[in-house]
Chain A
Amino acid sequence: MPHSFLVIDDSKLHHQMYRLIFSRGKLAGSTVHFASNGREGYGMLVAHPELKLVLLDLNMPEMNGLELLERRRAEALHPHIPIVLVTTESSAEDEARGRSAGAWEYLRKPFQPADVEGLVARALERSAPAA
């Protein structure tokens, strides 16, 4: 059964990259949804409770990653869905803030397909017992 994922990033290039990553190797056959900003992404999150993982870019116009996390926490939306915050660099302070807002993990750019595969594997492991 193919798994579903959500990518929220304002870069079209990154959409393409994720598409590549999710079409090869272990992740081939996945269903991936794409959103271009926080608002759009939030709407998709609401609509897809079956998502196994969300990859969320930090810096976006119209609701950035941190704001999305905070809204999700405030509205207690799908708390079972792990959300990974994707950033170019971050200090320990940033990371702490992200996690306290509800980010399950951090992914730093530049990343490799293997990094995403690893995150997916861990996310699936995490959700399996709860099913």
Chain B
Amino acid sequence: MTGENPFGELLQEYVVECLPLAEQVADAFVELERRWRDGDPADEGLAALPGPLHTIKGNSAMMGLAPMREVAHALEDACGLVARHPERRGDAAAALLVAGGELLVDLVRQASTEMDPSPATQFVERVRHWETAHPIPLAETQPERRRTDRRGAAERVSAGKADSVVRVDFRRLDALLEVLGEGLIQHSALAEAYRGFVRRTGACDELDQLDQAVVALEKTLKRLESTLMETRLLPLATAFGRFPRMVRDTAEATGKRVRLVQTGMETPLDKAVLDRLSEPLLHLVSNAIVHGMEPVDARRRAGKPDEGTVRLDAAPQAGRVVIRVSDDGRGLDEQAIRKKAEALGQELRPDDVVPLRSLIFLPGLSTAERVSTLAGRGVGLDVVANAIHALGGTIDVETAAGKGTTFILSLPVTLAIVRSLIVEVDQERFAVPLAHVAETVRAEPEAIREINHRGVTQWRGGLIHVADGGALLGTGGGQASRRFYVVMAAGPKRRALLVDRLVGHQDVVVKGLDPALGRPDVVSGTTILGDGRVACIVDAVRILEGGRRAG
């Protein structure tokens, strides 16, 4: 590149504006390919493409980013050609466009002042070659440049351009939430001091006003909190934008015909949850294609349509989001799974009706003998389950042999504030997220001694392991003071935790663990209680997954 580009410092802004456009263009190309294969010329889909391509081209030119400019220009030309010559809309054109779209996304994502020009040059070559494969009559070699009427275009693909939206660094939102968190904590302290005061001095009229003020302040802070939390919410589409392309590539690589149907992609989820959700979901979708879907001839024999369908359906449900990943493939082989589970050493008593769901997520269980790199690099469902549990979510499965499989995920909408049960063990307080508390049970000292001796206890018709809170959390006290057990739940696992007291419920602001604390595996964070003291948050998921046994 000759000389320094005067707008070099705007590289980030360039990516922010052009990456969503490039991704939408790439997605649109995949969609075009599918429709052309169905015999649908998709005129309006084509018409929506020149706009964003033109913008990317112009922006890239301004920023001195030649590779992106060239690829966008070549794609513009190719789109123009198939727009004027419908007979050229087919697999060859589609493959070219899809490849170009992917390349454009990659280039924009990696925008920098030093870029390797060869991928772009090669692609442009490819486009020229394809253009001249069937020579076009001379009169039409001047491509149209004027687009004075864009109002006819059905879809407005240029969503990345200036509108009434502000881009905020996510860390600022986190910082805002932290400050708000401090406010909530301070309010708790205020409320507690106030209650203490009332207890000592007795209620009176003046205090009524104070009471109202304290309550009103809490309402306002909570409203502020939920408004702020909303800013962190992003639609699922943000994370799942690349799924259609991935499905296409995976299906092609495995020689199957699969289409992806997505609904509810506008459902909002906290960015922190979303960030950790894409990989497990990717594995599930990938598994559905690689293992769940039969090849075309098997489907025909089964009387199913040639093209298999994988669905991603999301919907909000009472403060959570439920996502279903389903396929109309061959379904799970229950017998094979049970056999495999037994082979892995899972004890299955004959009178045990162990549901499929608790088996399929065991480590080492994969009903396909061949572990391919496509199916999430051989990642088993246990890893997926762990990832979902770590988010405070649940995962379940429904299947019917020959019909298909559905995975059902239930996720919390947000992460940062967690409703918790505060417990006390040897005068130390801990928070246990309510999402992982199945029940709390009072137990008499004799019963607890009995429990300790056996290490298990009866609960809802089954036996569950028991851990002494003091031993597990290192409080160092004896067990004579235990009076309650808290049944913790993560996925299908259950474990009872012996504690001294149940202090109450509280919404706690989750704060991370300072690196100085090392990597404890029984607590996942810290929080500040109403009295200002710090309490550790019990990592129910880790404790249950790790099978830690103490006491």
Contact = CB atoms under 8 A, between A and B. Distances in A.
Are A and B in contact, CB atoms below 8 Å, in the complex? Answer: yes
Contact of A16 (B10, B58, B156): B10
Contacts of B162: 9-12, 15, 36
Given A17-B7, A61-B156, A94-B146, A12 B17 contact: yes
Interface residues of A, number: 27
13 contacts: A10-B162, A11-B162, A15-B162, A17-B10, A20-B6, A36-B161, A59-B54, A61-B156, A66-B148, A88-B61, A109-B61, A109-B62, A113-B6
A126 interface: no
B150 A61 contact: yes
Max chain B C-beta neighbours (<10 A), residue from A9, A14, A66, A89 = A14
Contacts of A111: 62
Given A17-B10, A64-B150, A111-B62, A12 B161 contact: yes
A88 B57 contact: yes
A31 interface: no
B161 A17 contact: no
B51 interface: yes
Interface string B267-307: 00000000000000000000000000000000000000000
A22 B148 CA distance: 29
A15 B13 CA distance: 10
4 nearest interchain CB pairs?
A36-B162, A110-B61, A12-B162, A13-B17
B460 interface: no
B61 A59 contact: no
B243 to A, nearest CB: 27
B64 interface: yes
B10 A20 contact: yes
Contact of A110 (B9, B14, B16, B62): B62
Contact of A59 (B7, B150, B163): B150
Nearest to A24: B6
Q: Which of B55, B147, B156, B161 has the most CB of A within 10 A?
A: B161
A36 B162 CA distance: 6
A100 interface: no
Interface string B332-372: 00000000000000000000000000000000000000000
Contacts of A94: 145-146
> Counting chain B CB atoms within 10 Å of each CB, which of A11, A21, A67 scores highest?
A11
Given A11-B162, A36-B163, A59-B51, A109 B58 contact: yes
Interface in B216-263: none
Given A11-B162, A59-B150, A16 B62 contact: no
A16 B13 contact: yes
Interface of A: 9-17, 20-21, 36, 59, 61, 64, 66-67, 88-91, 94, 109-113
A40 to B, nearest CB: 10
A63 B172 CA distance: 36
A88 B54 contact: yes
Contact of B17 (A11, A61, A88): A11
B492 to A, nearest CB: 48
A65 B148 CA distance: 9
B158 interface: yes
Nearest to A91: B145
Contacts, number: 74
Contacts of A66: 148
A20 B7 contact: yes
B59 interface: yes
Best-buried of A9, A17, A91 by chain B (most CB within 10 Å): A17
A16 B163 CA distance: 14
B51 to A, nearest CB: 7
Interface in B395-453: none
A13 to B, nearest CB: 4
Interface in B144-165: 145-148, 150-151, 156, 158, 161-163
Contacts of B62: 13-14, 17, 109-111
B48 to A, nearest CB: 12
Contacts of A113: 6
A108 B333 CA distance: 64
Contacts of A112: 6
A21 B54 CA distance: 22
Contacts of A67: 148
B4 to A, nearest CB: 11
Contacts of A36: 161-163
Interface string B13-25: 1101110000000
Contacts of A90: 145
Nearest to B163: A36
A97 to B, nearest CB: 9
A15 B10 CA distance: 11
A7 B297 CA distance: 60
Contacts of B14: 13
Contacts of B18: 13
A131 to B, nearest CB: 31
A11 B59 contact: yes
A105 to B, nearest CB: 18
A106 B151 CA distance: 24
A111 B58 CA distance: 10
Contacts of B61: 88, 109-110
A113 B148 CA distance: 27
Nearest to B3: A112
A20 B51 CA distance: 25
B24 to A, nearest CB: 15
